Amino acid sequence: MHEALLELQDLHFNYGGAKTLRGISFKLIEGDIICIIGANGAGKTTTLRIVSGLEKPASGEIRFQKQRIDGLPPKEILSRGITLVPEQGHLFRNMTVFENLMMGAYLLKEKETITKELDRVYSYFPRLAERARQRAGSLSGGERQMLAVGRALMSKPRVLMMDEPSSGLAPQLVEMVGQLILDINGEGISIVLVEQNAEMALNIARYGYVLERGSVALEGETRVLINNDLIKQAYLGV
């Protein structure tokens, strides 16, 4: 059995006196794609924020390459190779596309490495190369999502965590995002995908977790989950 690259064990989190996470556990095998689905308020985004170091768990452990990372500052977690693409991108809207991408590379030291990563991002997203001097705030919704992913890729991640990458996008762009995730994974980057679009997520990922009220209600291989009657009714509209 393959060992976990990233593993959460019995994670609890309290917000404003309320228990937001109640014993979340999951693991990501190197080179894999896992998805986390669930209703709004289930704890999906909170889980990603904790892994990123943006929130501190009340209890539980997070291990990356077998080493504890819970409690480390976000910069240290990023430097180890775990990068978050937040929901709606959270771009620097008054900065140019190029400047936003350079913000993603701020931990990289060698100019040659930065140039190589920039070329790779532009190969994924030729539109960003065309818009390099344009302010991020003037981009379309699809272009902003491209930029958010591109900025994350500039950090040379080993694990890319994506929070609702298809949110607010037209159906044809959702399909584009799905293919993009597969392409990125094809380069050896492991992916944690949080999605409201359960159908897209289950068709892309190999293994899935269903969160309900801060707990893992169901997990399994996505080829099994997608045929589960409860998931069909609750998330797939079948």
Mean pLDDT for the stretch of residues 99-111: 91
Q: Which residue has the higher pLDDT, 205 or 167?
A: 205
> Whose CA is closest to 165, among 153, 224, 155?
153
Instruction: Please report whether residue 209 resides in a domain.
Output: yes
The residues, any chain, with a CB within 8 Å of residue 140's CB and separated by 6 or more, are: none
Instruction: Please report whether residue 151 resides in a domain.
Output: yes
Lowest mean pLDDT among 88-102, 147-161, 188-202: 88-102
Q: Dihedral through CA 222, CA 225, CA 226, CA 230, nearest 10?
A: -160
**Domain encompassing residue 212:** 4-81+157-235
Instruction: Please report whether residue 89 resides in a domain.
Output: no
How does residue 106 score in pLDDT terms, banded at 50, 70 and 90?
A: confident
Domain boundary among 138, 156, 174: 156
How does residue 1 score in pLDDT terms, banded at 50, 70 and 90?
A: low
Mean pLDDT for the stretch of residues 61-87: 94
Whether 145 and 161 map to the same domain: the answer is no
Whether 18 and 65 map to the same domain: the answer is yes
Whether 12 and 127 map to the same domain: the answer is no
pLDDT of residue 192 exceeding 60, the answer is: yes
The encoded tokens of residue 214 equal: 């801060």
**Taking a C-beta distance cutoff of 8 angstroms, is the pair 85, 165 a contact?**
yes
Whether 168 and 124 map to the same domain: the answer is no
* Cα–Cα distance list, 174 to 50, 77, 185 (Å): 26, 29, 17
Whether 175 and 146 map to the same domain: the answer is no
pLDDT of residue 46 exceeding 90, the answer is: yes
Q: Which residue has the higher pLDDT, 234 or 115?
A: 115
pLDDT of residue 177 exceeding 70, the answer is: yes
Instruction: Please report whether residue 90 resides in a domain.
Output: no
Whether 125 and 170 map to the same domain: the answer is no
Buried b (16+ CB within 10 A) or exposed e, 188-214: ebbbbbbbbbbbbbbebbebbbbbeeb
Whether 164 and 62 map to the same domain: the answer is yes
pLDDT of residue 100 exceeding 80, the answer is: yes
Domain boundary among 131, 156, 181: 156
Domain boundary among 156, 176, 200: 156
pLDDT of residue 16 exceeding 80, the answer is: no
What CA–CA distance (Å, rounded) separates 59 from 22? Answer: 10
Instruction: Please report whether residue 119 resides in a domain.
Output: yes
Whether 73 and 178 map to the same domain: the answer is yes
Mean pLDDT for the stretch of residues 147-163: 94
Number of domains in the chain: 2
pLDDT at 41: 83
> Whose CA is closest to 142, among 101, 174, 164?
174
Whether 75 and 168 map to the same domain: the answer is yes
Instruction: Please report whether residue 125 resides in a domain.
Output: yes
pLDDT of residue 84 exceeding 70, the answer is: yes
pLDDT at 109: 84
How does residue 101 score in pLDDT terms, banded at 50, 70 and 90?
A: very high
The encoded tokens of residue 102 equal: 């350079």
Whether 181 and 149 map to the same domain: the answer is no
How does residue 37 score in pLDDT terms, banded at 50, 70 and 90?
A: very high
Whether 66 and 179 map to the same domain: the answer is yes
Whether 162 and 150 map to the same domain: the answer is no
